[in-house]
Amino acid sequence: MRIAVLEDEAEQTLSHAMAGFGHECHPYAEGRILLQDLRRQTFDLLILNWCPPDMLGIDVVKTVRSELKSRLPILFVTDQREDADVIDGLNAGADDFMTNPFRANELEARVNALLRRSYPSQHEAELVFGDYHFYPPARILKVRGVKVDLKNREYELALFLFQNLGRMLSREHLHEAVWGVGVEALSRSLDTHVSRLRSKLALRAESGFLLLAIYGLGYRLEAVEANSLSR
């Protein structure tokens, strides 16, 4: 998963822990920079301290929820131990709260629980989206019962888009999910793969799913209701 971590640059204990758990971790030392990136980047989870250097963590949460209108799952890991602080953090929009010094196994468990709740379809053996049936263990996709011939990265991209249905995914997020960090980041390989998927999977309104390019940001796969096609 792609995780943003806001913490003191000198420590980065959370960032190291997340990387050790196998996640793509993006560390931030300033809330202002994180909020700027959240306007054009996408992440699967945000972890933050209560008191990063430039602004309170709770103010970061409020901005994410009220201004950015994001439902990004948020975990506080903080030295604050008062019940009032926990309540304030949760009321501001955080999803979970744990205190420092954190235990690595507890942190991993809480992160995994948040991800399961936020992205339930990513933990199923068979995924069904209308006429599109994914079988992850066999890496097979069938559309109306017919197997579609997809190359490895085409399949990974298709599965990732359907797993994040309705969610705008930044180009960087898609590159990391399918190609890995830093691989082919400057090429047009992503656009080529998207174009092929549109054609192979007929991702147009009449199929019930529409693959949209969000100019300058990334892509979003949307479900299209049947009644909207007749308007």
Long-range contact set of residues 129-137: C-beta below 8 Å, sequence gap at least 24: 129/162, 129/165, 129/209, 129/223, 130/208, 130/209, 130/223, 131/207, 131/208, 132/162, 132/201, 132/209, 134/158, 134/159, 134/162
CATH number at residue 52: 3.40.50.2300
**40 pLDDT more than 80:** yes
Here the contacts of 158-162 (C-beta below 8 Å, separation 24 or greater) are: 158/134, 158/197, 158/201, 159/127, 159/134, 161/197, 161/211, 161/219, 161/221, 162/121, 162/127, 162/129, 162/132, 162/134, 162/209, 162/221
* 189 and 145 co-located in one domain: yes
The answer on 147 and 109 residing in a single domain is no
Measure the CA angle with vertex 47, ends 44 and 52; round to 5°: 140
Last residue of a domain, one of 86, 118, 150: 118
Same domain for 142 and 107, yes or no, is no
State whether 141 and 88 are in the same domain. Answer: no
> Does 143 lie in the same domain as 86?
no
182 vs 39 pLDDT, higher one:
39
The predicted pLDDT at position 197 comes to 95
Domain count, the chain: 2
pLDDT at 183: 57
Q: Are residues 10 and 113 in the same domain?
A: yes
**Where do we find the tokens 């003191």?**
8
**Residues 78, 152: one domain?**
no
User: Residue 150: what pLDDT?
Assistant: 95
The residue assigned the tokens 């209108």 is: 69
- pLDDT at residue 227, as a whole number: 47
Task: List the domain range (segments joined by +) for residue 84.
Answer: 2-118
pLDDT band at residue 162 under the 50/70/90 scheme: very high
For 189-215, write each residue's pLDDT tens digit.
899 999 999 999 999 989 999 999 998
pLDDT of residue 229: 47
- Same-domain check for residues 72 and 109: yes
Per-residue pLDDT at 231: 46
- Tell whether 140 and 86 lie within a shared domain: no
**32 has a pLDDT exceeding 90:** yes
User: How much is the pLDDT for 3?
Assistant: 95
